[in-house]
Amino acid sequence: MQDLGIKLTTFMTQTPAGIIMIHSEIRYARISFNATPDIEIHSQFALHQNYLNPFNPTTTIPFALPTESKIKIEVFNLLGQRVAILEDGIMQAGYHQAVWDGRSSSGVSVASGLYLLKIEAAGTVKEMKFTGTRKLMLLK
């Protein structure tokens, strides 16, 4: 349930030159939500586009898991060389985010350019598998 209340005040004034000006002000605004906290469970795997893209210094990569899964998220350069591993392990079902700070696994800042992000996920309870890729653009 959503309750939204806004009180808007509008008034007019006239300048000495005879110009009428209209002014509006929001005097009161309130938004409240009444909801029970639910864990959002997705019906399928999803890898969404990172944001910000292009990015500097960090980017967020949203993804969804329909079931508990063993995941691995890696970043590669255009030569196919692995630059960084962002996630490697088991995660619960639901919506997640990985963050890349533009550094290699050894902590060295990488050069500006185009990178590829790859996610591999395999359900631990249900036999489900997923592989997805996205392009990431780092600008310095």
CATH number at residue 96: 2.60.40.4070
What pLDDT, on a 0 to 100 scale, did the predictor assign at position 41?
58
Tell whether 114 is covered by a domain: yes
Same domain for 100 and 61: yes
Tell whether 39 is covered by a domain: no
| Owning domain of residue 133 | 46-138
Alpha-carbon gap, residue 68 to 133, rounded angstroms = 20
Number of domains into which the chain is organized: 2
Same domain for 105 and 51: yes
Same domain for 58 and 26: no
Tell whether 40 is covered by a domain: no
What pLDDT, on a 0 to 100 scale, did the predictor assign at position 42?
66
Strand order in the sheet with 82-91: 82-91, 69-76, 113-123, 129-138
Residuewise pLDDT in 10s, the chain (140 residues): 344 444 455 556 566 666 666 655 544 444 444 444 444 556 889 999 999 989 999 999 999 999 999 999 999 999 999 999 999 999 999 999 999 999 999 999 999 999 999 999 999 988 899 999 999 999 98
Tell whether 14 is covered by a domain: yes
